[in-house]
């Protein structure tokens, strides 16, 4: 303890920590924790903004059109922060039907999008054949559709159910049409925290191992953090270091983690709130501090995305001055965090307007963060069967 206090005092006298960050050097957990807890917000935001200009120079902010479709709400995990999951016997349990996919995808294509963020739960009965069959079916009907689907907890669950390793499971899904892997289910990468909030999900190491295999296969991925529940400040910084260190192991030229996205815990009606009285108390200032420290602690991840859905549109706009260079998707449909209290909405015009009002130029991107030109979409024809 005394050594930590001495180190803190030493850091207070060493402004070269900021210079170390500007040199894109890896800060230790202790260094990151000190900056996170003790730096004035304005200074931390300025450092984040300066680093953003090193990684993504200019005055553009990227955004995307996609749709979050849940293939099921049946899940064995029953995470204590989640209001979305159901047991098999629940009257409102579902598995999305073919005709629903057709309707949802047609609506997505009608506004110029072509990607599904396809997530659900760890269904006890759905094996690898279900997912590969679903992916092939969707790709055959909509050849241009991109599938940003599942996540490490689902990959771990499917692999365990089938008796396969992560590589074989991922390869089968890629062969069936998986285009990229979201960083879902990370929450906080801490064994202590996961035992409290999501004990039935994959462990920290298993989450990292899935992503390690995805990177070895050059499958594009993202990394996430849900914060503001039972974790400590140190565990937040350790989470960032886990992500950074795994990114440092990716093969040269591989996509690895293309982006990092953090969002505040949404507590309304969740078991954590009802049973443990743990409520979301992340302020706008707290969120901006997290955006800035993410940019500082992740010098090997190019893009930092602001979560307007959970933090609010105004706070999302401010995050563009704290190190974020992307405002995410218009999110045509979102059911998971919305079930816990997220109420913000955004359409195509609103997204571009928000970026312009923040003082930036909006540029449309795909999941690989490649800039694409947005044109008014044509009328949608019947799907290819």
Mean pLDDT across the stretch 73-83?
77
More confident residue, 383 or 60: 60
Q: What is the pTM of this model?
A: 0.89
Contact in structure between 224 and 183 (CB atoms under 8 Å): yes
Between residues 308 and 258, the one the model is more confident about: 258
Confidence of residue 112 (pLDDT cuts 50, 70, 90): confident
- Do residues 211 and 183 touch, judged by C-beta distance below 8 A? yes
Token pair for residue 180? 């990229």
Q: Which range, of 24-28, 202-206, 238-242, 280-284, averages the lowest pLDDT?
A: 280-284
Alpha carbon distances (Å) from 176 to 40, 173, 300: 49, 5, 30
Q: How far is CA 276 from the centre of its chain?
A: 26
pLDDT at 13: 47
How far is the CA of 83 from the CAs of 51, 80, 97, in angstroms? 37, 8, 22
Beta bridge partner(s), residue 259: 222, 303
- What's the start-to-end Cα distance of the chain, in Å? 66
Tens of pLDDT, residues 221-271: 999 999 999 999 999 999 999 999 999 999 999 999 999 999 898 766 777
C-alpha–C-alpha distance, residues 135 and 176, integer Å: 6
Residue of 316, 297, 298, 296 lying closest to 307 (CA atoms): 316
Q: Taking 90 as the threshold, does the pLDDT of residue 94 lie above it?
A: no
What secondary structure, in 3-state letters, does the chain show?
Answer: CHHHHHHHHHHHCCCHHHHHHHCCCCCCHHHHHHHHHHCCHHHHHHHHHHHHHHHCCCCEEEEECEEEEECECECCCCCCCCCCCECCCCCCCCECCHHHHHHHHHHHHHCCCCEEEEECCCCCCCCHHHHHHHHHHHHHHCCCCEEEECCHHHHHHHHHHHCCCHHHHHHHHHHHCCCEECCCCCCCCCHHHHHHHCCCCCCHHHHHHHHHHHHHCCCCEEEEEEECCCCCHHHHHHHHHHHHHHHHCCCCCCCCEEEEEEEECCCCCCHHHHHHCCCCCCCHHHHHHHHHHHHHHCCCCCEEECCHHHHCHHHHHHHCCCCCCEEEECCCCCCCCHHHCCCCCCCHHHHHHHHHHCCCEEEEECCCCCECCCCCCCCCCCCCC
The mean pLDDT value of the chain amounts to 88
> Over the range 242-254, which residues count as b (16 or more CB within 10 Å of their CB) and which as e?
bbbebbeebeeeb
- Per residue in 143-200, pLDDT (tens digit) is 999 999 999 999 999 999 999 999 999 999 999 999 999 999 999 999 999 999 888 8
pLDDT for the residue numbered 138: 97
Domains of the chain: 42-364 (3.20.20.70)
């Amino acid at each position: 303890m005394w050594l930590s206090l001495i180190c803190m005092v030493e850091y207070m006298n060493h402004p070269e920590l900021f210079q170390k960050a500007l040199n894109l050097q890896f800060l230790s957990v202790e260094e990151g924790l000190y900056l996170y807890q003790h730096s004035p917000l304005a200074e931390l935001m300025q450092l984040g903004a300066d680093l953003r200009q090193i990684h993504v120079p200019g005055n553009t902010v990227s955004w995307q059109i996609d749709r979050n479709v849940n293939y099921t709400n049946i899940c064995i995990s029953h995470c204590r922060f989640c209001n979305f999951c159901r047991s098999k016997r629940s009257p409102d349990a579902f598995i999305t039907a073919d005709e629903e996919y057709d309707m949802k995808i047609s609506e997505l294509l009608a506004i110029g999008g072509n990607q599904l963020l396809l997530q659900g739960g760890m269904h006890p009965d759905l094996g690898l054949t279900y997912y590969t069959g679903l992916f092939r079916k969707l790709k055959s009907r909509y050849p241009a559709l991109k599938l940003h689907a599942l996540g490490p907890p689902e990959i771990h669950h499917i692999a365990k159910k089938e008796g396969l390793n992560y590589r074989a499971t991922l390869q089968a899904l890629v062969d069936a049409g998986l285009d990229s892997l979201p960083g879902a289910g990370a929450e906080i990468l801490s064994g202590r925290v996961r035992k409290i909030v999501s004990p039935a999900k994959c462990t920290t190491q298993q989450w990292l191992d899935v992503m390690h295999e995805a990177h070895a296969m050059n499958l594009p991925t993202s990394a996430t953090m849900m914060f503001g529940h039972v974790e400590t400040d140190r565990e937040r910084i350790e989470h960032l270091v886990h992500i950074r260190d795994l990114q440092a192991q990716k093969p040269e030229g591989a996509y690895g983690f293309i982006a990092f996205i953090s969002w505040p815990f949404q507590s309304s009606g969740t078991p954590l709130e009802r049973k443990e009285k743990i409520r979301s108390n992340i302020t706008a200032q707290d969120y901006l501090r997290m955006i800035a420290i993410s940019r500082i602690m992740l010098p090997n991840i190019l893009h930092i995305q602001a979560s307007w859905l959970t933090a609010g549109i105004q706070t999302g706009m401010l995050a563009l001055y704290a190190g974020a260079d992307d405002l995410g998707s218009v999110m045509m449909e979102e059911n998971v965090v919305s079930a816990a209290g997220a109420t913000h909405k955004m359409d195509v015009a609103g997204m571009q307007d928000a970026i312009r009002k923040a003082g930036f130029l909006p540029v449309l991107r795909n999941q690989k963060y490649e800039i694409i030109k947005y044109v008014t979409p044509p009328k949608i024809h019947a799907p290819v069967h």
